[in-house]
Amino acid sequence: MTVRLYDSRSQGLLDLVPIVEGHVGIYVCGPTVQSSPHIGHLRSALVYDQWRRWLSYRGFAVTLVRNVTDIDDKILASAATGTEEWWALAYRYELEFSRGYEHLGILAPTYEPRATASIPQMQRLIAELVERGHAYVADDSSADVYFDVASWPTYGELTNQKSGDFATSADVLGRGKRDPRDFALWKGHKPDEPSSASYSSPWGDGRPGWHIECSAMAQQYLGTRFDIHGGGLDLRFPHHENELAQSSAAGHGFANAWVHNGLVNVNGQKMSKSLGNSIFAAEFLERARPLVVRYYLGSAHYRSTIDYHDGALLEAEAALDRIEVFLDRAARRLEGTQFASSRPQRIPDEFAEAMDDDLAIPQAMAVLHEQVRAGNAALDAEDLGSAAALQGQVLAMTEVLGINPMAVEWRTAAGDPASVALAILVERLLEDRAAARKARDFSSADRIRDELAAAGIQIEDTPSGSHWSLD
Query: Which pLDDT value is given to residue 414?
Result: 44
Cβ burial, residue 154 (10 Å; 0-12/13-18/19+): exposed
Query: Do residues 95 and 57 share a domain?
Result: yes
Are 136 and 177 a contacting pair, CB within 8 Å? no
Q: Domain range holding 459?
A: 417-470
Query: Do residues 294 and 177 share a domain?
Result: no
Q: How far apart are CA 134 and CA 121, in angstroms?
A: 17
* Per-residue pLDDT band at 1 (split at 50, 70, 90): confident
**Taking residues 22-43, what's their average pLDDT?**
97
Query: Which pLDDT value is given to residue 272?
Result: 78
**Taking residues 426-446, what's their average pLDDT?**
83
Query: Do residues 219 and 291 share a domain?
Result: no
Domain limit, last residue, from 411, 433, 450: 411
Query: Which pLDDT value is given to residue 177?
Result: 87
Query: 465 in a domain, yes or no?
Result: yes
Cβ burial, residue 14 (10 Å; 0-12/13-18/19+): middle
Confidence check: pLDDT of 449 > 70: yes
Question: Which phi and psi (to 5°) does residue 230 adopt?
Answer: -125, 165
Q: Coil, strand or helix: which one is 462?
A: strand
**Taking residues 131-136, what's their average pLDDT?**
97
**How many structural domains are present in the chain?**
3
Query: Do residues 325 and 431 share a domain?
Result: no
Long-range contacts of 54-59 (CB under 8 A, 24+ apart): 54/3, 54/355, 54/359, 54/400, 55/3, 55/16, 55/24, 57/347, 57/400, 58/1, 58/3, 58/356, 59/22
Q: Coil, strand or helix: which one is 305?
A: coil
Confidence check: pLDDT of 421 > 70: no
Greater pLDDT, 12 or 471:
12
Which domain CATH number covers 359? Answer: 1.20.120.640
Q: How far apart are CA 197 and CA 190, in angstroms?
A: 10
Query: 315 in a domain, yes or no?
Result: yes
Query: Do residues 385 and 430 share a domain?
Result: no
> For 307-416, where are the alpha helices, taking DSSP H only?
312-334, 349-356, 361-380, 384-401, 408-411
Query: Which pLDDT value is given to residue 438?
Result: 78
Share of the chain above pLDDT 70, in %: 93
Query: Which pLDDT value is given to residue 387?
Result: 95
Query: 275 in a domain, yes or no?
Result: no
Query: Do residues 456 and 323 share a domain?
Result: no
Confidence check: pLDDT of 367 > 80: yes
Domain limit, last residue, from 202, 226, 261: 261
* Per-residue pLDDT band at 58 (split at 50, 70, 90): very high
Query: Which pLDDT value is given to residue 464?
Result: 53
Query: 274 in a domain, yes or no?
Result: no
Query: 268 in a domain, yes or no?
Result: no
Query: Which pLDDT value is given to residue 468?
Result: 75
* Per-residue pLDDT band at 413 (split at 50, 70, 90): low
Confidence check: pLDDT of 170 > 60: no
Q: How far apart are CA 172 and CA 180, in angstroms?
A: 8
Query: Do residues 17 and 155 share a domain?
Result: yes
Query: 311 in a domain, yes or no?
Result: yes
Query: Which pLDDT value is given to residue 339?
Result: 84
Are 367 and 354 a contacting pair, CB within 8 Å? yes
Query: Do residues 233 and 195 share a domain?
Result: yes
* Per-residue pLDDT band at 175 (split at 50, 70, 90): low
Domain limit, last residue, from 411, 435, 458: 411
Query: Do residues 180 and 119 share a domain?
Result: yes
Query: Do residues 321 and 238 share a domain?
Result: no
pLDDT tens digits for range 222-267: 999 999 999 999 999 999 999 999 999 999 999 999 999 999 999 9
Which domain CATH number covers 65? Answer: 3.40.50.620
* Per-residue pLDDT band at 432 (split at 50, 70, 90): confident
Query: 200 in a domain, yes or no?
Result: yes
Q: How far apart are CA 402 and CA 298, in angstroms?
A: 9
Query: Do residues 357 and 253 share a domain?
Result: no
Query: 158 in a domain, yes or no?
Result: yes
Query: Do residues 367 and 342 share a domain?
Result: yes
Q: How far apart are CA 196 and CA 35, in angstroms?
A: 20
Q: Which of 356, 393, 354, 357 is nearest to 374 (CA)?
A: 393
Share of the chain above pLDDT 90, in %: 75
Query: Which pLDDT value is given to residue 420?
Result: 57
